[in-house]
Chains A and B, each alone.
Chain A
Amino acid sequence: MNIPVLTPTRRRPLTHKIVTLAHGGGGSAMRDLIDDVFLAAFSGDGRAAPEDQARFDLAALMAHGDRLAFTTDGFVVDPLFFPGGDIGKLAVCGTVNDLAVGGATPVALSCAVIIEEGLPVETLRQVAASMAQTARAAGVAIATGDTKVVARGACDKLFITTTGIGVVRRGLDVGIDRARPGDVLLVNGLLGDHGAAILNARGDLALETAIESDCAPLNGLIDTLIKAAPGIRMMRDATRGGVAAVVNELAEASAVGVRLRELSLPMRAEVMGFCEILGLDPLYLANEGKILAVVPPEEADAALAALRAHPLGREAAIIGAVTAQRPGRVVMQTRFGGERIVDMLVGDQLPRIC
């Protein structure tokens, strides 16, 4: 596909060590920042004039499918760097995954950054390099962007918004409202790593663990899954609100019951221990490299095998089933055979005091 790529014009290297309001002023300082930090990182093989918009050849896009997918996501994670990733990697993965779970092949992203004055230029370089590396791994281009600098306190260090377009495969129709009783629920691996890694990286817990974020682009994995289970009903990435939020949305939108099995939920012992200490429920922890998929029963084995054969799905598991009982409700069978309702979270999970 012929995708236009931003190309550096290399005026002059940036000599400043920190970003100032001048870098957002629209003058040569801004131009230098964009050229030396972003364009240097994002440049590819293609050639394109520095226009205000990226342009796409429709015929080339239509070779991939028959519908356009379009999504956007803002990233404000604190800290900017955490074990297993950083805000840049997250910003690319998040939007790539939002396209991919709709059955789309991700094509290109835009990247808008809002920088708080005083941010070290080196930090920005690291983030841009990470975005570029992740975009390459996911096979998407970062095709257009925007830079703003705001006064100290008007934002927290660095906010990134990515918007993405992709092309939905012909004949594939996945949706949150398409689950039917009898369908099977799968996840592609260990739950809760990202949420635990971020909470831990904030440093106010003083816990020593080696939990890393699972942040990863999932379009490759999803490609394999769709080939193995062409009748797939739904995919969602279980980000904020965790698995609990996705299954509740599914139960409501499809007017079905969902039954989870606690013993089948794949989870790292470190994450379980982390949740034990803080009184958190891992079902509500965010993931950045996990999808929940619903497939018809006859495709469940093939789907599981395909996920497990992929490097990002080795710990994949069947975690539950769609039922006709209690439409709109998610029930979890606890390890004793007891039952409990898994509801949406109201706000953030707040640690219990004792």
Chain B
Amino acid sequence: MRYVDEFRDPALASALVKEIGAISARLERGRDRPFAIMEVCGGHTHAIFRYGLEGLLPDLVEFVHGPGCPVCVLPMGRVDDCVAIAEREEVIFATFGDAMRVPGSKKSLLQAKADGADVRMVYSPLDALALAKRNPGRQVVFFGLGFETTMPSTALTVLRAAREGVENFSLFCNHITIIPTLRALLEQPDLGIDGFIGPGHVSMVIGTAPYRFIAEEFHKPLVVAGFEPIDLLQSLLMVLRQIEAGTAAIENQYARVVPEHGNPQALKAVEDVYEPRETFEWRGLGSIAGSGVRLRAPYAAFDAEKRFSVPDVKVADPSSCRCGEVLTGAVKPWACPEFGTGCTPETPLGALMVSSEGSCAAYYQYGGVRGEAA
């Protein structure tokens, strides 16, 4: 495949791995723990496991899989809210596929569908809008989920619904933003992260400028990366070079897609349609100020939270789960007592075990179970 195979070239990969090994050997002296490089984005986590990149790295360098999978950070209570909306007689509930299996406190959307709720899997919010037009007698609710990557397409769908007067369409907005989340993570006192691989698709929308505080205030390097294995290895090398040089800067490895100031049209749609919530609850991480958005007043008519009485359920994570610590990179998945026993892809307790971008599912599927992990 053109423009894909070039980024999966084994010869290029082995040259990069060699350079990473050389830097690691130079940095080894006086170092008592590995350099922990967090990839924030779930798409990166997926690629790291899919291509077996961890096995290629020297012992002194490890990936830490961060909180960048929007499905994985969805709290159980929000899933319960989804189920409550979906189970209303008049509702067609439209969602992206990978939210279907996330467990709520009683059931997932997939189970709600089996119980008779009209839940449809769509590939784009525009598909949900089309559903609304085809079913004028029903209420079509789109489950808006994801970081800045998916936010513009949902915003444009709301704008189109408003323009076309599609009154039976609404959005259950669970969009989250990356910057407040990274700040909350960096403010943790015992954070053992030495550098970041920055999210590629989010940055395509927001640009690289918003990350500057990470270098300026927290003195950590961040390299925005693409999703192919060569992208990831090259970005890791760029982070390690900064560590070796003792610098902390924001660099862009994914310049073929990510402009410094992002995508102005996408940003304008986001700005027009959404406003920040005071706070938003994350699975395993608790509430993070300013990390969620809701629809602005002019679009309140399309807000599912206003149209239906959403129960706004709060459910505590199961006490034995260590999802939060896994999300922040404090522990590896196999350190959780439930990993591979109480919590498996077939019977997930936490969303990290559901999505293919969740680090627990990735370790379970690609890395093997405890004791056998890569």
Which residues of A are in contact with B by a Cβ distance under 8 Å?
A: 204-205, 269, 272-273, 276, 279, 281, 326, 329, 334-341, 343, 346-347, 350-354
Contacts and interface: CB of A to CB of B under 8 A. Distances in A.
Contact of B46 (A205, A346, A352): A352
Contacts, number: 93
A352 B355 contact: yes
Interface string B341-374: 0000110000000011100000011111000101
Contacts of B356: 279, 352
A334 B99 contact: no
Given A336-B52, A338-B51, A350-B98, A272 B1 contact: yes
A353 B70 contact: yes
Chain A at the B interface: mostly helix, strand, loop or mixed?
Answer: loop
Contacts of B209: none
Contact of A351 (B123, B147, B345): B123
B366 A351 contact: no
B116 to A, nearest CB: 14
B310 interface: no
Interface stretch (B7-15, B188-196, B248-256, B317-325): B7-15
A10 B234 CA distance: 73
Nearest to B199: A354
Nearest 7 A/B pairs, CB to CB:
A338-B52, A350-B97, A353-B96, A340-B366, A354-B149, A334-B52, A346-B345
B8 A276 contact: no
Contacts of B245: none
Most buried by A among B42, B52, B101, B146: B52
Contacts of A272: 1, 4
A352 B150 CA distance: 12
Interface string B46-59: 10011111111000
B214 interface: no
Most buried by B among A343, A347, A350: A350
Given A204-B123, A338-B53, 18 more contacts: A205-B123, A272-B4, A279-B46, A334-B50, A335-B51, A336-B51, A336-B229, A337-B56, A341-B367, A343-B365, A347-B101, A351-B98, A352-B46, A352-B97, A352-B356, A354-B42, A354-B70, A354-B147
A350 B56 CA distance: 29
A340 B55 CA distance: 9
A351 B53 CA distance: 22
Interface in B115-173: 121-123, 127, 145-147, 149-150
B100 interface: yes
B10 A350 contact: no
A272 B121 CA distance: 22
Nearest to B369: A341
Contact of B98 (A335, A341, A353): A353
